Amino acid sequence: MLKHNTLVFKILTALILGCDFNRSRISSTTNLHHATLTSLTTELKLSGELQFDNLHHAAKDFGNRYHLLPAAILHPKSVSDISSLITYIFQMGPTSGLTVAARGHGHSLEGQAQAHHGVVVNMESFGQSQGMQFHIHGDKPFVDVSGGALWINILHESLKHGFAPKSWTDYLHLTVGGTLSNAGISGQAFRHGPQINNVYQLQVVTGTGQVVICTEDMNSDLFYGVLGGLGQFGIITRAHISLEPAPKMVKWIRVLYSDFTTFTKDQEKLISSDSSFDYVEGFVLINRTGLLNNWRSSFKCKDPVQASRFFSDGKTVFCLEIAKYFKQEDAETIDQKIEMYLSKLNYNESTLFVSEVSYVEFLDRVHVSELKLQEKGLWDVPHPWLNLLVPKSKIHKFASEVFGKILTDTSNGPILIYPVDKSRWNTKTSMVTPTEDIFYLVAFLSSAMPSSEGTDSLEYILNQNKKILEVCESAKLETKQYLPHYNTQEEWRTHYGSQWDVFVRRKLTYDPLAILTPGQRIFQKVTSYL
């Protein structure tokens, strides 16, 4: 059983919940922290390395808006390195202001994996020192991987055994621990649930330094708490990821809609079927000149003549993106199946575009765009993304207010929109969703141009995001943020709603001094007993 001190538990409840969120507050004991950290290398007998210089990369992430410098970076080679570090800081008690943040591939958006004057744990280096173990016999095949392993590497290794994970994110160059701490949602989630739905076992280092093995049946409170728990209860160091037999090829299809109601009806029809497509997503396209011509470089158009007459200039149109996986032996019949599935949809028939690619090419498609943007110097720019979960009953009101009034001329990046069915999910995890079973992920994936003062400036996009959130609140759309970010604890309390008390209890149980993941800004490290 996990242990906690009852007296400390009661005292710290008041302290943690009474914290402030002034990020400019710097602990007066910073120099003491650095001196303490310097002595850790010898005292803890680490097999890895504790680094005190060249720390700037740990103060940067994909969002490129927050830059909080740590005091040190731990490059662990074993789980005991992580456990020893956290145990040492925990045993220092509330007189220490030191915090610890696990950093994967650096794709946080709001500095969530940063630890100001604390220690950042480089999980990617940990992942490289840990192997993958495949268990593919029996009725529940899985792969045992490090929390610092990249999903793209898991894909390549598992395919060697003829298997692959069931659920993905759209971008695979992310760590296991990072996506499991959030949810891991993509176009397969309507069928398999998010990635947190497809885990059998976790190894977790809690905020007291304990190394705990947990499953649905063993230490289940921690298991469900960590999944979608935003790193608040422990660092995921290993995971058993569910596998299924892997397909070889993918039929990748895009079609367009001019009418939002028809578009959403077709999406909802697809996710309710057990025997149609394997992947369902969608895009909102605002005034995209030359859109179909751009698709022709990768997709084959069924009716080029009719497609050439379709113009999206000045319009808001909606793209349904779907995919059907298949094996080589099914190649002769797959087209007939797809034609049957498509016959039940009401898209603009002149805009049917199809591509046949390998399973790896399809899953790793975003990385191709990343490389192109890196060549142009457009990858390392601020990314003020906004991800929302919108109840099905509110999606038309949302679209009318946002796409009809706030976003009218153009967008500064892709806008994803697709439904998922929560009734197929495990709802015991820490992830927060709308109350309805069917809800939409709407993701505004904007990129801000440095030095710009126009509609692609950071200030403009942030103001646009603010307007969208204000509409959601004023119109009572009952949305929830995915990859949430708030500035006050009252906002976090509202976000978690009825789950807030459980969330706080888990924090006080598994990380009573609020050592872990300070960048989420939910709880602040306790530094005194008052």
Q: Which helix (H) or strand (E) holds 281?
A: strand 279-286
Which among 239, 122, 232 is positioned nearest to 182, based on CA atoms? 232
Residues 325 and 334 sit within 8 Å (Cβ to Cβ): no
Q: Quote the CA–CA distance of 348 and 408 in Å, as a whole number.
A: 22
Are the CB atoms for 222 and 510 separated by under 8 Å? yes
* Gap between the Cα atoms of 305 and 139, Å rounded: 50
Closest CA to 125 of 110, 145, 108, 146: 146
Q: How far is CA 407 from CA 29, 122, 393, 399, 401, in A?
A: 47, 39, 21, 10, 9
The set of residues, in sequence order, having a beta carbon less than 8 Å from that of 108 and lying 6+ positions away, is 61, 62, 63, 114, 178, 519
Please count the other Cβ atoms lying within 10 Å of the Cβ belonging to residue 24: 5
Beta-bridge partners for 357: 250
Could you give the residue numbers annotated as active site?
107, 170, 281
Could you give the CA distance from residue 209 to residue 326 in angstroms, rounded to a whole number?
Answer: 45
CA distance 183 to 163: 22
Start-to-end CA distance of the chain, whole Å, equals 30
Q: Quick check: 61 and 114 in contact, CB under 8 A?
A: yes
Token pair for 475 = 């119109």
Q: Map 205-245 to HEC letters.
A: EECCCCEEEECCCCCHHHHHHHCCCCCCCEEEEEEEEEEEE
Torsional class of 249: left (φ above 0), alpha (ψ -120 to 50), beta (otherwise): beta
| Residue 357 host element (H or E) | strand 353-358
Residue with token string 């142009």: 376
